[in-house]
Structure 1
């Protein structure tokens, strides 16, 4: 199908903005509906879950508690994100330099000596995924000199493993760049979709939008059409001038997996919590103390970091915690990305648009 189609998209989160950009780049006429009041970044936990996410692209590390299929889709997504970031950067116009959107320097898993049992369980999962060994690299153990050379800010007593090829997205700049670069897209902010059906998006005010193809990418907003639940996540933002970290770091611990992700401007995002609750209230004392204590145990230089803010949000999950694509004539639904929104969005969207027969920019050299 190569003709120019009328596309309606419900939802302007990671999936919605990426779909709008990819389909507009392919020449389709795209209209997007979202209840937010505009495309600007939000850090209050009330906007798209993608804003709160750390943006880690860690398919190898996610084998700890995700399926091999999720890991493979995540590995494919890294290649797609790289091309998307390259195109968005090339299209950037303005007096300021293009914002950093994507990094691919690998990531690190680390463990304290007392927690090597927990680390070995994770490594055994990685070694046991033999079906993926031909498609994805394996974790590489680092001795102390190698760890010091890669990331001198880390505690030299840590045991460490490099996960080659993994990377990170810079969420707020990427979401902003996708919205700004989606040429000709009609963004209908402040418009909540109540129902998405083949060829029609019905809005909360009772009006509707007819189209050739409707995409339901609303996350939790797709209830009750999908049996979704919200899973609470909590993160802490720290400002630590003088602390240098190039790669995302995941601390392996018997009770939780704490990650520390560097951001431009001497900022760090620390998170891990995965709570079965739809409570959007502020971060709990327990979570904040555990996250910051774990981060300090990995990077002692964070002792004098300043807390910028704490943030919560809800990730959309299906009962099996696996993503789902549903396609029928005139309608495409993608949902249930759980804690893997940035990791899975490009590959899932690529596969969904293929099923719908839609020409799109993600197919250009897609794996």
Structure 2
């Protein structure tokens, strides 16, 4: 077995306080290490793609556009997230009611293609819950609010979601409770530190997402746009996805009739506000799923760019002594971050990771 990278009481600097940076800060502080976090924005996570997300934990649903390793990370997250949330002092909404997939008659061909993809995934990863094909009677049982509009669908049991903004706030509070030193509105780069030198941290963990592009030029932005609405007349009980060949949308219900609606995925680093076309498409598609969205109140139309590597897969690498970089979470941040967290902790404490091969996770060490 390789030697541990760290001592039982090491000091860490973490660059970037998005989802990955906060999870690592809390986990390391819980283990008795000294942790300082630097982020270019404030504690609300304004600079993080995690703030603009639906936070769905949907391995089978996402298998339509990703690799088996990511699907296995998502399956792992469904067990790991309840454990991580139980360690936080502040409650976070978590739901595991499955995912519903619906479509209009004209999109039946696309829905059949999607069903075949899910069936292929289920044969490859047999531990996933079995997809259920719904008729009109079963649709009325699963999601009564949609029974009059959709007479067939796919139900992916066991899939889940959480509230991304509640989680970011709970992680911030946990960092403070554990004595993590937080430097908000303070942009730093790896060049600002010499890990291992006198008066410097023992280790540097770079979790800056697109902020790390100068050090990791292969990173690119993939723009996402979401609408957050309050819809008292809508009673969806689980994340619902509408099949469409051009803009397949998702609707993620949070607490108190708050809904996150998203779809767009644009190859761009553009962080400017959403276009009118994108907003109209999202809201029109949501109305096509449930007419109660007509009277919804728009709380926010938000955009962000997800940090993405050329193969759309995450990676962990060490390019300098005592420095680890974690990046490339793409659109799967909440679904894969527990796996990445545990892989990094394994690397630091044992010098290797027995989890990484299970997830086909790329780790580049010297």
Question: Does structure 2 retain, via aligned residues, the 8 Å contact 1:144–1:157?
Answer: no
How far did residue 59 of structure 1 move? 0.9
Partner of 2:188: 193
**Within 2, Cα distance between the matches of 1:188 and 1:333?**
19
Q: How does 1:136-175 map to 2 (within 5 A)?
A: 136-158=128-150, 159-175=152-168
**Within 2, Cα distance between the matches of 1:87 and 1:249?**
29
CA offsets per residue over residues 310-355 of structure 1, 9 Å max, x none?
1111111111111111146512211011111111111012112212
Note the aligned Cα RMSD (angstroms). Answer: 2.4
**Within 2, Cα distance between the matches of 1:345 and 1:197?**
26
How far did residue 155 of structure 1 move? 4.8
Match status 1:123 vs 2:115: yes
Question: Does structure 1 retain, via aligned residues, the 8 Å contact 2:233–2:293?
Answer: no
**Within 2, Cα distance between the matches of 1:288 and 1:40?**
24
In the alignment, which of 79, 93, 97 is matched to residue 101 of structure 1?
93
- Count residues in correspondence: 343
CA offsets per residue over residues 289-330 of structure 1, 9 Å max, x none?
111111111112212212222111111111111111114651
How far did residue 265 of structure 1 move? 2.3
Match status 1:220 vs 2:210: yes
In the alignment, which of 334, 338, 351 is matched to residue 346 of structure 1?
338
SS at match of 1:210: coil
How far did residue 131 of structure 1 move? 5.7
Partner of 1:31: 36
Question: Does structure 2 retain, via aligned residues, the 8 Å contact 1:327–1:352?
Answer: no
In the alignment, which of 100, 112, 119 is matched to residue 104 of structure 2?
112
**Within 2, Cα distance between the matches of 1:196 and 1:325?**
19
Mean CA deviation greater in 7-16 or 137-146 = 137-146
SS at match of 2:130: coil
**Within 2, Cα distance between the matches of 1:198 and 1:356?**
19
How far did residue 149 of structure 1 move? 2.2
Q: How does 1:310-321 map to 2 (within 5 A)?
A: 310-321=301-312
How far did residue 87 of structure 1 move? 2.0
SS at match of 1:269: strand
Mean CA deviation greater in 15-24 or 322-331 = 322-331
Partner of 2:65: 65
**Within 1, Cα distance between the matches of 2:235 and 2:214?**
45
**Within 2, Cα distance between the matches of 1:155 and 1:199?**
60
SS at match of 1:316: strand
Question: Does structure 1 retain, via aligned residues, the 8 Å contact 2:229–2:297?
Answer: yes
Gaps of 5+ in 2: 360-366
How far did residue 11 of structure 1 move? 0.6
Question: Does structure 1 retain, via aligned residues, the 8 Å contact 2:139–2:147?
Answer: no
Q: How does 1:276-355 map to 2 (within 5 A)?
A: 276-327=267-318, 330-355=322-347
Partner of 1:95: none
How far did residue 199 of structure 1 move? 5.4
Q: How does 1:203-214 map to 2 (within 5 A)?
A: 210-214=200-204
How far did residue 198 of structure 1 move? 8.7
**Within 2, Cα distance between the matches of 1:57 and 1:316?**
18
- Taking structure 1 as the reference length, the TM-score comes to 0.87
Question: Does structure 2 retain, via aligned residues, the 8 Å contact 1:155–1:300?
Answer: no
**Within 1, Cα distance between the matches of 2:229 and 2:159?**
23
- Taking structure 2 as the reference length, the TM-score comes to 0.88
Gaps of 5+ in 1: 93-98, 202-207
**Within 1, Cα distance between the matches of 2:71 and 2:62?**
7
**Within 2, Cα distance between the matches of 1:259 and 1:144?**
21
Question: Does structure 2 retain, via aligned residues, the 8 Å contact 1:235–1:311?
Answer: yes
**Within 2, Cα distance between the matches of 1:343 and 1:162?**
19
CA offsets per residue over residues 57-82 of structure 1, 9 Å max, x none?
11111111111111111111221111
